[in-house]
Structure 1
Amino acid sequence: MTTRDIANLRVYNQHLNHDKFKKPEEVVGHMCAMQAQEYAHAKWAIGLRMSSPSDKAVEKAMTNGAVLRTHVLRPTWHFVLPQDIRWMLSLTAPRINAGNAAMYKKQEVTDAIFNKSFDVFTKGLQGGKQLIRTEIAAALTQANIATNDLRLTILLMKAELEQLICSGARQGKQFTYALLDERAPMTPVIDRDEAVARLVLRYFTSHGPATINDFVHWSGLTVADAKTGIEINKSRLSNVIIEEISYWMSTDADFSTAKKTGAYLLPVYDELIIAYKNRDAMVPASFRDKIGAITFFPTIMVNNQVVGNWSRNMGKKNIDIELKPFNKLNKTQNQSIESAIQRFKKFNGVG
């Protein structure tokens, strides 16, 4: 097994080139959590893994609560399923709060202020109400709680981490918040080791082959947590050493079916890039000096290797795609990329 095999298997295990899912919630369920702060791009990340993708289908899943968007890992926005959100937050919130502690102190947000804001959220959102940020800010101001922009963000994130609020349906282009109890069913409480085991198994199943450090980078948990989860799942995970580096994946991984062909227009922060601390498997050595462009901008992937960046100009009746390859592309590569462009346009209802 080689480094290129790692890339091929990651693409395969993330279902980018086989057995694509029918529904957005099936994609998110398989991936466990998908980074989602750049919302339009994050919707396309789901679409890439669907058999008949459409922006409207992903938006509908967000509207009806089949998929939720909240702060749950590292922390940043992620898509998660309603049935996963509680055990995941119970597992990750303590570390996120610890990491945010200095910010809480700098903004002079005390436990008393948090609790007072939680009362405001509960009163304003109960009964199925869903409010945008400006409406929530107004309610907090009326309760004499200061809401400069960063402070409002802190109060909202803390309420998410405390399992009080989550995403509601969008109002136009505005995001809303809703009470978690009204968007997600109550699920059985599980102990920490079981939660760690779940997260570890689902990460290495959907993202493998990956290293312990990759998991730590993705989850925000510790090396000790990763090792605990691997030990609990030792009969369901396999290990391979490549160039003296240890990788983990599901025992069900099938080398023979991992395809090496095809092209993808990956959105910024796609799980195929952002979910790994080390991205060398997907990036040719000659392009590794461009890792910033690869990490923080949409990327073009051909034959499971990054070959450049891309951008789009969205019009009502047309979408202009600008390709920014790192090297000159050959005819076969351009043909594959053209197919990827048409798929992106179809997702957005154009062409």
Structure 2
Amino acid sequence: MELDPKTQAPIHLIGLAALQGILCLGPAREGGESTYVLLDDWVPPAPARSRESALAELARRYFAAYGPATVEDLAAWSGIPMTEARSAVIGARSGLSEVMIQGRPGLALKKGLSPVSMPAKTEVRLLPTLDSYLLGYRRRDLAVPLPLQRRLQRGGGWLHPAVVVDGRAVAAWSLDRAGRNARITIEPFEALSRAIRTGIDTEGRDISRFLGFAITIRIGKPAPSPVSRSPTVSS
């Protein structure tokens, strides 16, 4: 069978081979072009473990990165069936604590569970497309109120870049390049305070430094949106 390299078929086959443990990413070529190598040639052999042990380790690593979260979140993120997600949590139970997430039972890693205080200053981040912070859960209510989610999920399986303030999405953003210059456009979901605008400017300067070209920032007018209460997490 012949494949047209101009279509998406080859990259999907590479992805399938990666999921099956055949291929992995190799060293990038000059210019940033990706290469792929056989996993067995590139990664040292790992100790054999049972499926139950592997599932428990998957749960520990997931909740270490994304907790507090739910069993449903683990299943959605990993792609494993709910029955296996529950088995994974049972296997990792000794290292997990039960918490409540907006009135729903959830789990968090015991090792990282401690009283949380709000940061001394507003934390503003411009997250890229398909950032893992917004992809790690079955529901994104903690970061994006339900009425606003369509402003970031615009169809085609695409997740728009988001402006996040103290963990909560307050705007979408985009970057348009023209030669050695670029413009960041902010689409607010609500009125943005001076502190948030200052944080956006700081992020813009950092993106400019990283990409190596001048950037201007345009902040649009906020579109009307329903008022939502901040989510709560309790142990």
Which 10-residue stretch deviates more, 210-219 or 157-166? 157-166
How does 1:136-155 map onto structure 2 within 5 Å? 145-148=1-4, 149=7, 152-153=10-11, 155=13
Contact 2:152 2:160 in 1 (8 A): no
The alpha-carbon distance between structure 1 residues 146 and 349, as it changes in their structure 2 partners (threshold 3 A), is same
- By how many angstroms is 1:221 displaced? 0.6
Post-superposition Cα deviations, 1:84-131, rounded to whole Å, max 9, x if no partner, equal: xxxxxxxxxxxxxxxxxxxxxxxxxxxxxxxxxxxxxxxxxxxxxxxx
Are the equivalent residues in 2 in contact too, given 1:308–1:324 (CA < 8 A)? yes
CA distance in 2 between counterparts of 1:331 and 1:250 reads: 36
TM-score (normalised: structure 2): 0.76
Q: Is the 8 A contact 1:309 1:325 kept in 2?
A: yes
- Structure 1 CA distance for aligned equivalents of residues 118 and 51 of structure 2: 34
Match of 2:85 in 1: 226
Per the TM alignment, residue 242 of structure 1 is displaced from its structure 2 partner at its CA by 3.6
Q: 2:166 aligned with 1:303, yes or no? A: yes
Cα pair 2:152 2:161 within 8 Å, conserved: no
What one-letter code is carried by the residue in structure 2 that aligns with 1:166? C
Residue of structure 1 equivalent to 2:190: 327
Higher helix share: 1
Q: Report the TM-score when normalising by structure 1.
A: 0.53
Contact 2:122 2:196 in 1 (8 A): no
User: Which amino acid counterpart does residue 236 of structure 1 have in structure 2?
Assistant: G
For 2:115 and 2:142, the matched residues in 1 are separated by 16
Tell me the equivalent position of 2:211: 348
Aligned to 2:135: 274
For 1:160-219, what per-residue CA distance to the aligned partner results, in whole angstroms no more than 9, with x for missing partners? 344332222333353222222232111112111111011101101110111111111100
Deviating beyond 6 angstroms after TM superposition, the runs of 4 or more aligned structure 1 residues are none
Percent of aligned pairs with the same amino acid: 28
Hey, what does 2:114 align to over in structure 1? Answer: 254
Change (3 A) 1:217 1:258: farther
Contact 2:152/2:162, CA 8 A, preserved across alignment:
no
CA distance in 1, matches of 2:148, 2:203: 21
Relative contact order, higher structure (CA 8 A, sep 6+):
1
Q: Which blocks of at least 5 consecutive residues in structure 2 are unaligned?
A: 215-235
Contact 2:151 / 2:172 at 8 angstroms: preserved in 1?
no
Distance in 2 between residues matched to 1:154 and 1:324, nearest whole Å: 32
Q: Which runs of 5+ in 1 are unaligned?
A: 1-144
In 2, are the aligned partners of 1:293 and 1:309 still within 8 Å (CA)?
no
From the two aligned structures, give the one with the greater strand fraction.
Answer: 2
Matching residue of 2:54 = 195
